[in-house]
Amino acid sequence: MIDKRVGSAEEALKDVFDGAHLAVGGFGLCGIPENLIAALVKRGVKGLTCYSNNAGVDDFGLGLLLQNRQVKKMVSSYVGENAEFERQYLSGELEVELVPQGTLAERMRAGGAGIPAFYTPTGAGTLVAEGKDIRTFDGKECILEAGIHADFSLVKAWKADRLGNLIYRKTARNFNPMAATCGKVCIAEVEEIVEVGELDPDQVHTPGVYVQRLILAPSLEKRIEKVVTRKG
């Protein structure tokens, strides 16, 4: 009987090694595999390369790994909410590759689909294009972007069955489905695990064939990146 559940985040991450490449889901502070990240902080693995839409904030998400000096390189789209990220980058401690958001999502998806590279007009004529192959399609300059192939994918889902079929909830669906497919080993933390047959197949976002390990890990807290209010 296939059962991809493991007992803890520590067990799920036991073979993550120094220098590993990690594809990490999440958008802002939504859909971040916070329990898996906390376990990585405890393990103390170093020299990590992280592919993620953003770098969390100083005290949450990938920001915790940055605080602990465990990240060597960040490949991200949006990094504006993390003061420690800024400090490490400006001091030369952290290598950074900024990638347009849609390009980053497609690089993850391409890696998961076995596509080594693709051309896109996004970034043509800018610093993003430096050092990359450029071709013209239908009169538009396009640059060659490589698919992402990570050693591990760390994702957060709402529901799963023991076969590893995943359902994400709302905004958490932004990067998690693509991140899940591009790692050699996909580790998912989920808020609820149900028996096979309880999930509607039409609602499954990541098929279990992509997922190797599951942990049951309710959200530690529901955070809001920026609270904006107005007078009533």
Please report whether residue 15 resides in a domain.
yes
Average pLDDT of 151-171? 97
Residues 178 and 211: beta-carbon distance below 8 Å: no
Number of domains the chain is built from: 1
Q: How far apart are the first and last CA of the chain?
A: 57
Residue linked to tokens 């993850």: 108
For 189, the domain range is 9-115+148-216
Q: Beta 48-51 vs 71-76: how paired, if at all?
A: parallel
CA–CA separation, 228 and 222 (whole Å): 16
Computed over every residue of the chain, the mean pLDDT equals: 94
Please report whether residue 225 resides in a domain.
no
* Pair of tokens at residue 217: 């890990």
Per-residue model confidence (pLDDT) at position 116: 97
Task: Tell whether the model's pLDDT for residue 164 goes beyond 90.
Answer: yes
pTM of the complete model beyond 0.85: yes
Domain CATH number, residue 207: 3.40.1080.10
Tell me: the pLDDT tens digits for 28-68? 888 999 999 999 999 999 999 999 998 888 788 899 999 99
Residues 36 and 14: beta-carbon distance below 8 Å: no
pLDDT class for 220, splitting at 50, 70, 90?
A: low
Average pLDDT of 128-140? 96
